[in-house]
Structure 1
Amino acid sequence: MEASTTAAPWYSAYPAPKSSEPNKVTREEVLELLRSTENLDAKDFVLIDVRRNDYEGGSIHGSINIPAQSLYNAIPIWYNLFKAAGVKRVIWFCGSSGGRGTRSSLWFQEYLDSKNETEMKSMIMVGGIKGWAVAGSEYVHSLTMKDE
């Protein structure tokens, strides 16, 4: 008889989000945000790619990479940085925004709620990087490859 060697998913080490419905933003809205702030030094949003190994192929220009697997314990640090920078919207995405992106957004929103934070909002970008990459040339031109 063979023993099961299935490992627990990475997120099982952390509390499950209390909600299953994150705040959402469309890729069209994100593209407009990126376009409207192209020539500005300050932005009131941050775009976060939570992919880890699959991040290596490239991401959306202007996004930062915070792998979901390392996020949970660092949420207070990221909150303080975003708060000091005047961030109003924290926009998360992964491959499809159905797993890691959603979980990250919900965890961060729960932290905001625990702080009674009303000026900052956590949300996912619907469709993730996969939806972004197939949405048309104006989206593809805003992808940044890893080596750039």
Structure 2
Amino acid sequence: MATSNHSVGEPAVEKPWHAAYPAPKTTAAVITRETLISWMLEGKLAGKDFVLVDLRRTDFEGGIIRGSINIPAQSLYSTIPSLYALLPTATIRNVIWYCGSSHGRGNRAAGWFADYIKEQDNTQMESRTLEEGIKGWATAGDEYVRMMDEYDATVWK
């Protein structure tokens, strides 16, 4: 969003929310939707066997992958230590992050969380990005749509 800067005469460009934080040092692993759905069809449960984190904000429409939690990306960075602290006691080893396409928020968050895991010398837990995000999931066919809550087909047309 541009705002006027009367002293210079040119519009000032507002920095994106993530510019306030360091860039991730780690490129997180990617999980394909095929692998994730196979886990779900085998009976693995989000919240018990893995955690799914949906980082969409204003584009949060059209449904959510069953079992996901929604964390606004703008508040994520400062909550990483708290989120991490909850997971080992639940023996959760995989945290899967996604946004619309998983090229921005999802990828960045997965990297930050992977950095934190490394800082804790944790070799058991993994931070992953869902390849192609919710858009890839919701448009991949009926077996994926059945694993969504509040699915709205009109959003994905």
CA distance in 2, matches of 1:41, 1:123: 14
- Aligned partner of residue 132 in structure 1, secondary structure: helix
1:78-93 matches, within 5 Å, as 78-93=83-98
Q: 1:71 to 1:41 in 2, by over 3 A?
A: closer
CA RMSD of aligned residues (A): 1.9
- Aligned 8 A contact 1:60 1:143 in 2: yes
Asked if the contact 1:37/1:43 (under 8 Å) is kept, the reply is no
Match of residue 24 from structure 1 = 30
Shift of 1:107: 0.1
Give CA-to-partner distance per residue, 1:18-60, whole Å, 9 cap, x none: 23x320100011111122226x697321111111121243211
Q: Which amino acid aligns with 1:10?
A: W
Partners of 2:103 and 2:46 lie apart in 1 by 31
TM-score, normalising length: structure 2: 0.85
After TM superposition, the runs of 4+ consecutive aligned structure 1 residues lying more than 6 A away are none
2:46 is equivalent to residue 37 of structure 1? no
Taking structure 1 as the reference length, the TM-score comes to 0.89
What is the letter of the counterpart of residue 35 of structure 1? L
Structure 1 residue ranges without an equivalent (≥5): none
Partner deviation per Cα, 1:40-97 (whole Å, 9 max, x = no partner): 6973211111111212432111111112211100000000111111111001010000
The alpha-carbon distance between structure 1 residues 132 and 73, as it changes in their structure 2 partners (threshold 3 A), is same
Matched residue, 1:71: 76
Aligned position for 1:52: 57
* Structure 2 unaligned blocks of 5 or more: 1-7, 152-157
Structure whose alpha-carbon radius of gyration is higher: 2
Deviations 1:106-139 (A, max 9, x none): 0000000000011100000101000001101101
Q: Which residue of 1 aligns with 2:3?
A: none
AA aligned opposite 1:82: L
